[in-house]
Structure 1
Amino acid sequence: MSTVSLNTTLSQVEEFTRSNLTENNNVTTAPFLEENVSELMWKTLPIPLLCVGLAGNILTIKVLLRMGIRRQPTLMFLLFLSVTDTVVLLTVLPRYWIYYTFKFDLKLVSNAICKLYFFIVYLSFQYSSWILVGISIERAVKTNFPLRYKNVYTRKRVLIGLFLTLLCLCCVNVHFFFTNGINYYNEGKCESLSPEYLHFDEFVFVYIDLCVSSIIPFLIMFVCNILLIRILRIKQRERPNLMHGIFVKRANRSSVKMTKMLVVGTAYFIIATAPLCIYYIVDSYLLPGYEKSKNASAIARMNLIRTVCFLIALSNNCVNFYLYTAINDRFYKEFKAMLRCQPRYEWCIHSPLGKRL
């Protein structure tokens, strides 16, 4: 997900709007309705999103550990995704809620926190996108090349791939420790440290981030989902082969359910993050003109649109547990077994004859 406008915070937009209203009319004008709505959303929605998201991600981690991540590479991806989503929620939502409720910006506590905030936010958003890419590719390989799958995807290789991806994204975002901080040429705000770095953030890195966190992952997941849907349709039309053993058929059914779950998850990612991506593309062309012409009402409208798109995108980090329980029968039954303090579901779901108990 793209976060290209995090350097220009909502507070700065509001200050710009109010200052220009006063300058143009020589009177103190009340904030626009869009500003009030945006502020109300940031005061009321982050806490419910945080509670729902944290509860879901913690439960997802516990269920995945019960299901046995060592033997199933897909579950390793989902575990890392849940941890990353938790980092996103804990980093972004409390900071915005505290700012709009108590008018205190956590980024300004220290120069180190300012730098670290930008680094973690961009890194976690991007990493979440690329974990979904890894899941999509893994499912596509398993459904299209089942015989080669076990040789390609092992626990060790999945872990290496996840850590190499994280390392590459760290390299992409390490510049924040040098280009951003609490500066004194612009009233001590937490943003770019100089006009030159500001130009890099607004006109160079904005496109790097857009490609890394949105465009490239979107294209890869789109292609993989097409391949997955194609295979699912073929499997639904196939009749059971009498030559297959009951355990083979059971494994195929489990694989199909897992694939359906991941197709829905990646589809929701695209739906939730696409509005924010489109907004940032439009923002790059329209906002400079609005600021130059001092069109405060238009800036307030864009501020509201950004808030709505941002909160929708953050919902993507909250819903995975609920998607898994609604779509994947095995995940749901493992969750129920955990709540009842029963043994792992996969060890007791079938009798020796392969029939459900």
Structure 2
Amino acid sequence: MDSTFYDEYNITQILLEILRQNQNISNEALLEHAQELLKQLTFDRELSSYTEFRLHKAMLLYVPPVLLVLGVIGNVLSFFILRHKTMTRQSTTLFLAVLSIADSLVLFIGLFRKWIGEITGLDIQHESMFLCKTITVLAYSVSHYSVWLIVAVTIERFIVVCRPLQASRYCKQKRARKVVLVMIFIFLAINAHLFWTVELTEQNLNRKTVLRCDAGPNFVEFIDRIWPWIDLVLYSLFPLVILLFFNTHIIRQVVRATAGRDILQNGPLMKVDSRRNTKDANLKLTIMLLTISFTFLATTVPMNVVMIASVVWRNEMDNPKQFAKLVLIRTISELLMYLNHSINFFLYCATGQKFRNIVLRMICGRSTSNISNFSDHSQHLYCSRANNNCNGHKSENETAL
């Protein structure tokens, strides 16, 4: 809903413009235009009186800059940390590093543009045919790509946890690079139709004709009715089902592995430590990736519900109070969706010990390095006394994140 409210003067000017452009218009048609404009005026004025609508406008003004600052800085830090020489042994870190780039693009193309539009009333997507088509394709592609990177890393974790004998074959950096590149081409191909199904179209808005990036004349039914459901399936519903399926199996296997730890207590000390450290490292990484998956589910499911509800209760749009509530709920759901693209850095810090240590080393510098050196020295003494090497500790360092 446009925030510009019609007043009586605007209505008069619009009617005069209609008469100027079409002098043969009948009195009945002119009266119909006047009634429609008056209805719009009443609707807009009533809408602005509701707390829900004012809260919706305030959230669009103040929440996006917070998400943008936290998200972009966090994603940039995540990328460099995940590509740190101590983190690149695993294919998982490649997926997560690319995810940080995709999330940043989502924030720039989607949230930043939306926020600037809220402040200035201008949207660069409507400025030229090239920008209209390119931004639309990129916006959908990077959103889908970001989500399916989470799916890819979840499937990889499933292989490591539930099919460990096949992990050495499938979970390699080289294979991960191929998957990352193939996924880019897949989602660009899926969304390529937007290059010809959307275009700049002329629309009458507030006394004048404006250009808006919208469905082309021959594709209105597809873009307005069919494509939103395809997007819903690609961005949320299908990934939701896949993540629930694989995460259920991962959690079940983790519970079994944790329950079986007590059996290892009867083995030789260093052998037990080696197995325990490897399992602990895998468990830490698994917990972190599960956290990312379930955060995605928690932040995107509300948007799914809102999109479906918008279709089911389409007739309620004529009621200003119901419309104000729906707009507020949609805004909250949309900001939650962007939150998913902003907080991975903090999830890594909260659940990834090795990631957290690198962050502390970057912040504290020498002091954290000294702590790390002390830990290495203590580890060396312990291993020497046991008259064995530290394979268990090495395994943990290489696999933990």
The TM-score bracket by the shorter chain reads 0.7 to 0.9
Identity score, percent: 24
Secondary structure at the counterpart of residue 66 of structure 1: coil
Matched, 1:308 2:326: no
Q: 2:167 aligns with which of 133, 136, 149?
A: 149
SS of the equivalent of 1:182 reads strand
* Aligned counterpart, 1:78: 96
1:178 matched residue in structure 2: 196
- Alpha carbons 2:292, 2:347 under 8 Å: kept: yes
Pairing 1:188–2:215 present: no
Larger Rg: 2
Aligned to 1:318, the other structure's residue is in SS state coil
Gaps of 5+ in 1: 1-9
Partner amino acid for 1:170? L
**1:204 is the counterpart of 2:222:** no
| Pair 1:234-2:249 in alignment | no
Corresponding residue of 1:3: none
Match in the other structure for 1:285: 312
CA distance in 2, matches of 1:197, 1:83: 32
Pair 1:135 & 2:153 matched: yes
CA root-mean-square deviation: 2.7
Going from structure 1 to structure 2, the CA distance change for 1:304 and 1:246 (only over 3 Å counts) comes to: same
Aligned counterparts of 2:330 and 2:158: Cα–Cα separation in 1: 34
Q: How does 1:97-112 map onto structure 2 within 5 Å?
A: 97-112=115-130
Bigger relative CO (Cα 8 Å, ≥ 6 apart)? 1
TM norm structure 1: 0.87
Distance 1:17-1:178 versus aligned 2 partners, 3 A rule = farther
Partner residue of 2:179?
A: 161
Conserved 8 A contact 2:137-2:194: yes
Paired with 1:61 and 1:205, the residues of 2 have a C-alpha distance of 32
**Count of equivalent residues:** 340
Q: Which amino acid aligns with 1:250?
A: N
Corresponding residue for residue 225 of structure 1: 247
Task: In structure 2, give the amino acid aligned to 1:191.
Answer: D
> Offset of 1:300 from its aligned partner?
2.6
Distance 1:132 1:25, change over 3 A: closer
Alignment of 1:267-278 (within 5 A): 267-278=294-305
Shift of 1:268: 0.8
SS for the counterpart of 2:219 is helix
The structure-2 alpha-carbon separation of the partners of 1:24 and 1:257, relative to structure 1 and needing over 3 Å to count, comes to: same
Deviations 1:2-48 (A, max 9, x none): xxxxxxxx54xx56999999623876835242332211111111111
Q: Which of 328, 337, 349 matches 2:361?
A: 337
Correspondence 1:60 to 2:78 = yes
- Per the TM alignment, residue 206 of structure 1 is displaced from its structure 2 partner at its CA by 1.5
C-alpha distance after superposition, 1:199-258 (max 9, x if no partner): 101222122111111111101100111111112212222223535364443232111100
- Structure 1 residues 212 and 159, CA, compared in 2 at 3 Å: closer, same or farther? same
Q: How far, CA to CA, are the matches of 2:286 and 2:362 in structure 1?
A: 23
- Deviation string for 1:39-94 (max 9, x for gaps)? 11111111111001111111111211115454201111111111111101111222
Deviates more, 1:64-73 or 1:168-177: 64-73
Distance of aligned partners of 1:26 and 1:209 in 2 relative to their CA distance in 1, 3 Å threshold: closer
1:137 Cα deviation after fit = 0.6
Whole-angstrom distance in 2 between the partners of 1:162 and 1:65: 15
SS in 1 for 2:45: coil
Given that 2:75 and 2:100 are in contact with CA atoms closer than 8 Å, whether structure 1 keeps it comes out as: yes
Question: Is 1:17–1:299's contact at 8 Å kept on the other side of the alignment?
Answer: no
Give CA-to-partner distance per residue, 1:179-207, whole Å, 9 cap, x none. 1121126642111121x312101222122
| Alpha carbons 2:201, 2:216 under 8 Å: kept | yes
User: Is contact 2:6–2:40 with CA below 8 Å preserved after alignment?
Assistant: no
Contact 1:338–1:344 (CA<8 Å) still a contact in 2?
A: no
Asked if 1:258 is matched to 2:285, the reply is yes
Cα gap change, 1:123 to 1:16, in 2 (>3 Å) = farther
Q: Judge conservation of contact 1:32–1:300 (CA < 8 Å) in 2.
A: no
Mapped partners of 1:286, 1:139: distance in 2: 40
Uncovered stretches (5+) of structure 2, i.e. residues with no partner: 12-34, 205-209, 384-389, 395-401
Partners of 2:103 and 2:242 lie apart in 1 by 20
Contact 1:126 1:212 in 2 (8 A): yes
Asked whether the equivalents of residues 82 and 88 of structure 2 are also in contact (C-alpha less than 8 Å), the reply is no
Matched, 1:120 2:138: yes
* Shift in CA distance, 21/307, structure 1 to aligned 2, threshold 3 Å: farther
Preserved contact between residue 5 and residue 45 of structure 2 (Cα < 8 Å)? no
